[in-house]
Amino acid sequence: MIACFTTRRLLIAVAATLLATPASRAADVNEATEKAMKAASAKVAPSVVKIETAGGAEVVGGGKKGPGGPPAIRKGTGPTTGLVVGTDGFIITSAFNFANKPSDIFVTIPGRPQRLVAKIVANDQTRMLTLLKVDAKDLPMPDAFPKAGIDIGQWSLALGRTSDPDADHPPSMSVGIVSATNRIWGKAIQTDAKTSPVNYGGPLVAINGQVYGVIVPASNRAEGETAGVDVYDGGIGFAVPLEDIMGVLPRLKTGQDLKRGLLGINPQGTDAYNASPIIGAIQPDSAAARAGMLVGDKILEVDGKKIPNFSTLQHVLGPKYEGDEITIKLMRGDKEQELKAVKLVGTTTAYVNAFLGLLPMRDDPGPGVEIRYVYPKSPADLAGLKAGDRVMKLAPVAAPALSPIQNRAALLGALQRLSPGTEIKIEVKRKEGDKVETVTAKLVPAPETLPEKLPLPSSAGKAIEGQPKPKGKEPKDKDPFSPGCGSEGEDEPKKDEKKDEKKDDKPKVETGFIKRTNEALGREYWVYIPENYDANKSYGLIVWFHDTTEASKDGAQVGRTFRTVCEDHNFILVGPKAGGKDGWVPSETEIVMQDVKTVLGQYTIDKARVVAHGQGNGGQMAFYVGFNARDVIRGVGTVGAVLGTNPKENVANQPLSFFISGGDKDPTLKDIKESKDLLIERRFPVVYREMKESGKEYFDRVTFDDFVAWLDSLDRV
């Protein structure tokens, strides 16, 4: 009887809800949601602590304005947030909160009247977390939301302790949803709840009061304490799953800093999403090198997970730490191999560019590669190679046979896979008498010296004739405005085709200074095409980032400065326009690269000579783009610009060279020199010039000539 009465009451309540007006139902839902959110916050609040710091640097994020890294962030005395992860006084928070290296750290725990002194126990350097310890017992622990149960669309509450001076009051709350999982190479949850320095280190909470994770700034393009801070107001935020944190907490409690586990390989190509995961380069003394992996191996599985592309590999390895062991299944030739207990390392020996000492002739369809110039006293010079000789085959001395070199691209690729100290055999066809000889040379690190004068011409003028014919189609002249028109093909070149004798039928190329508009984005940019443009020659591309504070932002002026350079050395200029009056910002990188790739597809571009160049703020943008568009950019040339952030590692198959200059009276000269030193420390090829009696001016005549020599020798090997 009682059960029947209860059921009747429930049916009446449901009927009343269904018959209620839409407005009243919405009000009920809103009220219930509000109550649930307040209850969730209240459940976690006792574990959300206030962190205050004293001393340390006033400014972090490089301390230098501009796009060379995250914007300078001024650290005040305001509090930040942390989360209790141990009843005996352990607290986890974002490493960003200590980027200024404070001398003192204080923690206020809800319900406890006095601030407690905290000390840093250890850092998780891949997830950018810091573990603190205070002298306290019986602290309230939050419940972790099961990682496997986190789904897109679930409510998420970002809590922080910076707004209210009283830690016993409810924490601040920003509401959103879980918008993605497995982000930042498998290390983070993504939310559209507002995250910023206000709640970094605080919890991201589910509607039931369990904690998804700890809020941190993060970026898939950069690493470090401030990575991702520059886009904190971009509508997305990140949190490291609490379940993952608790899994490594015992290691952090021992005082051990945790580093990301690295395999130490680079892909063969630049397509991380569609191409097969074939190894293009292996860093010296890396986990891959120690395990016996080889260039050309195709990775099939890691720990039983299929690896269809390099993006998947990054997601599988992203959460791993130094010392973790993995099992790799790979294909070598036509045989599968399994490598067990491959121990990941935390740091790898920086790749060093190997140098043979010659400049190849461009747009030479081969077979082989004609030598344009031999560097004095280089390995090539000591081996007796001469300008006009043709490199036909090459291989390490230890290799069973020499490999044919079809063209310049093949020569560049072959030498990029080798390290300084490697002894190689070279089959060379002599200019005089067509005699074929085999010589040996020992590769050395790439020098900083520039050739005094390079011989012209630099191109054989056969960029298009050297391209393979499309199969099944009649041969046609290559349209210089067609996408994909490059300087050299990877396939074996075909014989020259007979051309249409009617020159008027060929598309005419507009030359000079041309203003353009990106129709999709409404942004302007300009292009300078030399008057003597010839689609049968490959052209280097200089991406000019103007300094908005200088007159140099006039593209026509830049075109006049570089006119002779563009005509004699085959270069095209492209000048993107900054979106704001205050200068370039990192978020413009992808937009700029759209303009650059449009130009790449319209002209015969030498992909080995694509350079980001700028002065002041524009130079900082050039640094940033160089490191974040490495599939395209091969050189960075700056005037009076500061790097602003730690550079990424030098890698074999995406070589990056630098020309750095500054005036001896420039107030930032010390920082410019530090930028140069840091790049050299990372083993990048760097040419540095200090201009006498100069402040923030552009290149003087001597330095400009050196810059041109650097531009013209970027494809040296």
On whether residue 281 sits in a domain, the answer given is yes
Task: Annotate 506-517 with three-state secondary structure.
Answer: CCCCCCEEEEEE
Strands 237-241 and 265-267: unpaired
> CA-to-CA distance for 688 and 315, rounded, in angstroms?
38
Same structural domain for residues 271 and 240? no
Q: How many CB atoms lie within 10 A of CB 564?
A: 11
User: For 447-593, where are the E strands, in sequence order?
Assistant: 512-518, 523-529, 539-545, 571-576
User: Are 293 and 280 spatial neighbours (Cβ–Cβ below 8 Å)?
Assistant: no
> CA-to-CA distance for 31 and 28, rounded, in angstroms?
5
> CA-to-CA distance for 374 and 441, rounded, in angstroms?
13
Mapped onto helix, strand or coil, the DSSP state of residue 624 is: helix
Report cis status (omega within 30 of 0) of the bond before 367. yes
C-alpha distances (whole Å) from 74 to each of 53, 100, 365 are: 13, 9, 56
Same structural domain for residues 617 and 583? yes
C-alpha distances (whole Å) from 164 to each of 44, 49, 83, 167, 469 are: 16, 12, 17, 7, 71
On whether residue 687 sits in a domain, the answer given is yes
CA 709 to chain centre: 27
For 293-316, the pLDDT digits (tens) are 988 899 999 999 999 999 999 999
Give the residue numbers spanning the domain of 109.
46-253
Q: How many CB atoms lie within 10 A of CB 58?
A: 12
User: Are 156 and 211 spatial neighbours (Cβ–Cβ below 8 Å)?
Assistant: no
Same structural domain for residues 239 and 290? no
Same structural domain for residues 113 and 185? yes
Residue in the block written with tokens 């930028």: 675
Count of structural domains, the chain: 4
CA 583 to chain centre: 21
For 520-578, the pLDDT digits (tens) are 767 888 899 999 999 999 999 999 998 765 434 455 666 678 888 899 999 999 988 88
User: For 434-511, where are the E strands, in sequence order?
Assistant: 436-442, 444-445
What's the CATH code of the domain at 337?
A: 2.30.42.10
Mapped onto helix, strand or coil, the DSSP state of residue 215 is: strand
> CA-to-CA distance for 393 and 404, rounded, in angstroms?
4
> CA-to-CA distance for 115 and 345, rounded, in angstroms?
39
- What pLDDT sits at residue 226? 47
On whether residue 277 sits in a domain, the answer given is yes
What's the CATH code of the domain at 514?
A: 3.40.50.1820
Amino acid letter for position 239: A
Tokens encoding 32 = 């219930």
Same structural domain for residues 548 and 668? yes
Mapped onto helix, strand or coil, the DSSP state of residue 637 is: strand
Report cis status (omega within 30 of 0) of the bond before 102. no
Please identify, among 322, 343, 364, the residue that sits at the C-terminal boundary of a domain: 343
> CA-to-CA distance for 556 and 57, rounded, in angstroms?
43
- What pLDDT sits at residue 354? 87
Residue 297: closest CA among 341, 316, 289, 185: 289
On whether residue 160 sits in a domain, the answer given is yes
> CA-to-CA distance for 300 and 298, rounded, in angstroms?
6
User: Are 157 and 40 spatial neighbours (Cβ–Cβ below 8 Å)?
Assistant: yes
Same structural domain for residues 545 and 690? yes
For every residue of 142-199, DSSP letters joined together read PPBPPGGG--TT-EEEEEESSS-S-TTSPPEEEEEEEEEEEHHHHTEEEE-S--STTT
Ramachandran angles phi, psi of 685, nearest 5°: -70, 125
Q: Is the dihedral of CA 311, 313, 314, 318 positive or negative?
A: positive
User: Are 391 and 405 spatial neighbours (Cβ–Cβ below 8 Å)?
Assistant: yes
Amino acid letter for position 476: K
- What pLDDT sits at residue 21? 62
On whether residue 398 sits in a domain, the answer given is yes
Same structural domain for residues 177 and 67? yes
> CA-to-CA distance for 593 and 644, rounded, in angstroms?
21
On whether residue 14 sits in a domain, the answer given is no
For 108-147, the pLDDT digits (tens) are 999 988 899 999 999 999 899 999 999 999 999 999 999 9
Tokens encoding 100 = 């200024």
Same structural domain for residues 435 and 337? no
User: Are 47 and 139 spatial neighbours (Cβ–Cβ below 8 Å)?
Assistant: yes
Same structural domain for residues 389 and 300? no
Mapped onto helix, strand or coil, the DSSP state of residue 320 is: coil
pTM listed for this prediction: 0.63
On whether residue 499 sits in a domain, the answer given is no
Q: Is the dihedral of CA 643, 645, 649, 654 positive or negative?
A: negative
Amino acid letter for position 251: R
The C-alpha angle 563, 586, 696, rounded to 5 degrees, equals 50
User: Are 330 and 297 spatial neighbours (Cβ–Cβ below 8 Å)?
Assistant: yes
Same structural domain for residues 619 and 705? yes
Same structural domain for residues 587 and 559? yes
Q: Which residues of the chain have pLDDT under 50?
A: 1-15, 18, 59-66, 68-76, 222, 225-226, 228, 230, 468-505, 550-553
Residue in the block written with tokens 């922080």: 160
Tokens encoding 613 = 């160049």
> CA-to-CA distance for 50 and 113, rounded, in angstroms?
12
Please identify, among 430, 445, 460, the residue that sits at the C-terminal boundary of a domain: 445
Please identify, among 253, 283, 318, the residue that sits at the C-terminal boundary of a domain: 253
Tokens encoding 138 = 């019986």
For every residue of 361-400, DSSP letters joined together read PBS---SSEEEEEE-TTSHHHHTT--TT-EEEEEEETTSS
Same structural domain for residues 249 and 271? no
On whether residue 181 sits in a domain, the answer given is yes
